[in-house]
Chain A
């Protein structure tokens, strides 16, 4: 089979899974919906492998294959076909997406076991994977937008999966609206580009772009900036990031899948995919790099002050995606995508570990209540350590190689990029500190009540389940979130999923070791064949300095965290008191939510109320409708007065009128 046939199969399986589970949810017994879902994604992964093998059979120059099913909307000069593009970049992405998704599905089968929404969850999850695969396989801009929006819709559904929680539905609508804002950016960007190229198809756009655009010309810069808006909204970059932390309202596997491994990296993919356009718009590239850099710093600082374990990981995700966005914006395409892959492994692993701990705390997510789980949950602890080391960039874990490569390429660009380089290393220090702060607070120290119970072999259950976000008592009538919790130590599927990801977190870095091997570089090269930025000539000095610096900074961060939260448990409070204003700023997430509230939400709501309350009543109903209808009414009232209902009166009038007319004509002649 050809690579594109495999590509269509990759899409087909998750879609089939959605339909089967969605239509047959009543008749699927027990956990079968979960297994069906897992199997379809696994099949999809196999098909992705198939397309990889088929693609490698082509010569490097012919590894961009597209295939189209039917005309989607081809009229009035638009050429939108239902087409996919299979090239090394998209194959790389579908492998990651389907691979990690398979493991997350496997994990979810156990994790959501006690939930009444089990089948619904897997229908959504499969739909999400389908959308994500559609996004990365799309062969034209319109289909990319479709995948882009479907992913947003699926993430909305999954975030507000436990829809009896008002916090969850609020978070869902927020995520969706910000994602729609991103869609709008994407559509506008498409318009700017289409205006000149006259085509939506990727390959033709890229072919035409250098001929129809001058480098740095207004329309291409505007177009790329608009694409960036889309990328920022999806990838939770400042200032469109506020939905991501709130999105942690979703079940933990959702956070692992959507908010760590796949969806939020779509922005990175977009910039990499559109690199021929971005290279024509250096200003847009610079904006991307600066925003990515700002995000990685700001998210890192917020991560230091958060106490909800999932939110800490969420801010960490933002920060890591900041690295990737910065990377692909400065031309470190392979490095950015490499980091995307390793990040998918270790961040999904961390989220799964967090899910396990939350299970042990029977739904509680606050780090302030977790303590000393090291002995009670050795497997989870091990996974956390692996994920944490990979995230902090300690060799030989995968994060070390990918993160340092991004920074290396950034440094090589020289000039003002050095500022980004330095910021990247500051971010790395923050990363190590907040990661190990989280680990030390949850696993070290005196065991808390729940941990002691677990050590004695009993999994804690809350008497009255409450929503951890606002303390509201859960609506148990509905049965979701389920009353039962699961931890990795006691569920084989969760253990398998986490083990595989842990292995990936440890070993994936070996795919690309500077000066040793270049698997990712070589594999992706055909997709970036025409990019002048792709090949870089590493200077040895910078390389060695970077690797050493990265290791040292990571270790230093861990050491600081160890000193503050393990050796001297009280010192965190002291530091907090000394840097009160900073702490307040971080804890309040730099006031971005409040800022957006004042700038957008409040005026819009005011406008709506004004329109409905005042304008509608006074102007629309009073003047514009009241005017003409009032005139008609007044006229009719005047005429109605003549209609007395007295027959004889009418007859007299008639006779009079006729007589008058007759007289008039008689006198005329």
Chain B
């Protein structure tokens, strides 16, 4: 089935819902639910159908869009985006389901924007053409602008919306300039016809100087989107202003588009620049980890704890990507999926907690909720432990790989980054304890999770648990594509490669043969 169906089905459902809303009142919500569910089913189909051993893209759609500029409407699935499709559709389904639990003003428009956002995000993940990617990347912003501005909460929502939009648009503008420059300069410097198709661009290397400034343009857009320290200024106001259902996907999925962009575009197209700016990016990552964690554990607004913890987690992801080796990138990609799942579940739980704490999202006014809500407490415990990446969770598998990658690339940075792991345990447990445990807060009326809330939360937790048991499910799908994505930069960065999997029994046997040679074998298996 063509990928376009997956992309445009949600938007079509949203549009249909908006059109028939005047006749059938419940239609927008029901159609949105159907659209997101169908997209989820399709995405599961793509994941199941994904051929691990195959090279390159699968299910390719390639149509010339603007011939004169060499822009194609090219979509494709590969190891980089296959699990992210699953994440996106699952989170949108959960968020739409959560939205169904309450009434919205002008539901037809709300769901239309919501579904349009899903289409845009899916498009950004699937686009295999630089111009198309930029188009989808900017398209994502429009529905969220309306979702926050019209349905947001809090007195400052308009101000927050404008801040968010302007700030991310500045980033997008830089990226647009970078994208155009990439196409034009690649053609010019290699004397080839202009093209924006990613696979063709990869064979048209840019000069080092142009790579560097274009890389910075892209990095600015991606880092703002993630958000990374110190470009996260839009985040606190933006997070506070969003309806939590919207925030679930915004935090869970949109931030991943930025990180994904590094793997899909920045590393393969600008490997020299990636190596050149490796240290800068690693320092930004480190700053995000430490700064995000430090703010998170003094924060009292539960939503912002989740927000700043995302800054820290995205820092880990950046760290993994710019370790510029397969371990780090594999970990980063796995962590994108993990973090999306966990943060969406966490935000939904925060909404439930706020309902029980008299509408306040301040952890000082919560407390003692666990006793009358044991199931909610258990689910929250699982999510909290996954947030702090307890070994045994899939988040830990991701963090382990990321830190291993960083460890091999820059030892000192990896060691400092470990402090983020410790701080994560402080802020995650603090959130858990302050809300669920201790004495009952003044305005708290605890009650158990309802069945409908459970329908949103349980699938997310179930996926978290399944991935925890078998992270290899994601890792084996992404392995080939990830190592291809980082291979150019990895080769340039000149790291000492890790020993490939060695049969040490054999190695030891041969060593025993030439006794006394043990000392010389320290570099056994290190690839050149």
Overall SS of chain B's interface: helix
- Cβ < 8 Å to A, chain B residues 111-151: none
B291 at the A interface (CB under 8 A)? yes
CB-CB under 8 A for A612 and B504, given A164-B437, A188-B415: no
Chain B residue total in the interface (Cβ 8 A) = 82
A640 at the B interface (CB under 8 A)? no
Binary A-proximity of B264-302 (CB < 8 A = 1, otherwise 0): 000000000000000000000000000100110111000
A598 at the B interface (CB under 8 A)? no
- A609: chain B residues at CB < 8 Å are 298
How far, in angstroms, from A172 to B381 measured CA to CA in the complex?
14
Shortest Cβ distance from A163 into B: residue: B437
- B231: chain A residues at CB < 8 Å are 624
B327 at the A interface (CB under 8 A)? yes
A207 at the B interface (CB under 8 A)? yes
Shortest Cβ distance from B163 into A: residue: A629
How far, in angstroms, from A176 to B371 measured CA to CA in the complex?
21
A148 at the B interface (CB under 8 A)? yes
How far, in angstroms, from A142 to B404 measured CA to CA in the complex?
12
B479 at the A interface (CB under 8 A)? yes
B102 at the A interface (CB under 8 A)? no
A79 at the B interface (CB under 8 A)? yes
- Cβ < 8 Å to A, chain B residues 380-428: 381, 385, 388, 390-392, 396-397, 400-401, 403-405, 407-408, 414-415, 418, 421-423, 425-426
A448 at the B interface (CB under 8 A)? no
Q: A611 to chain B: closest CB distance in Å? A: 5
Residue in A76, A78, A210, A607 whose CB lies within 8 Å of B294: A607
Residue in B378, B479, B518 whose CB lies within 8 Å of A211: B518
Residue in A74, A156, A198, A475 whose CB lies within 8 Å of B499: A198
A385 at the B interface (CB under 8 A)? no
How far, in angstroms, from A478 to B326 measured CA to CA in the complex?
51
B294 A163 Cβ-Cβ under 8 A: no
Residue in A198, A611, A632 whose CB lies within 8 Å of B525: A198
Chain A residue total in the interface (Cβ 8 A) = 73
A169 at the B interface (CB under 8 A)? yes
- Cβ < 8 Å to A, chain B residues 490-528: 498-502, 504-505, 507-508, 511, 518-519, 521-522, 524-525
Residue in B371, B374, B429 whose CB lies within 8 Å of A173: B429
B483 A625 Cβ-Cβ under 8 A: no
A79 B374 Cβ-Cβ under 8 A: no
B500 A177 Cβ-Cβ under 8 A: no
Overall SS of chain A's interface: helix
Shortest Cβ distance from A628 into B: residue: B170
CB-CB under 8 A for A160 and B391, given A73-B475, A180-B425, A207-B508: no
How far, in angstroms, from A35 to B430 measured CA to CA in the complex?
33
B295 A195 Cβ-Cβ under 8 A: no
How far, in angstroms, from A638 to B500 measured CA to CA in the complex?
62
A404 at the B interface (CB under 8 A)? no
Shortest Cβ distance from B397 into A: residue: A73
B390 A150 Cβ-Cβ under 8 A: yes
Query: Could you write out 9 A-B pairs with CB less than 8 Å apart?
Result: A72-B471, A73-B397, A120-B374, A150-B392, A157-B381, A169-B433, A187-B418, A194-B404, A198-B504
Residues of A within 8 A of B (CB): 22, 25, 70-80, 120, 142, 145-146, 148-150, 153, 156-157, 160, 163-164, 166, 169, 172-173, 176-177, 180-181, 183-184, 187-188, 191, 194-199, 204, 207-208, 210-214, 475, 478, 604-605, 607-609, 611-612, 616, 619-621, 624-626, 628-629, 632-633
List 3 tightest A-B contacts by C-beta distance, closest first: A625-B233, A198-B499, A608-B298
Residues of B within 8 A of A (CB): 162-163, 166-167, 170, 229-234, 236, 291, 294-295, 297-299, 325-327, 330, 368, 370-371, 374, 378, 381, 385, 388, 390-392, 396-397, 400-401, 403-405, 407-408, 414-415, 418, 421-423, 425-426, 429-430, 433, 436-440, 470-472, 475-476, 479, 482-483, 498-502, 504-505, 507-508, 511, 518-519, 521-522, 524-525
Beyond the given A75-B401, A76-B475, please list 15 additional residue pairs across the A-B interface where CB-CB is below 8 A: A71-B476, A73-B397, A73-B472, A76-B479, A164-B371, A166-B439, A196-B499, A198-B499, A207-B508, A211-B507, A478-B371, A608-B295, A620-B233, A625-B233, A629-B166
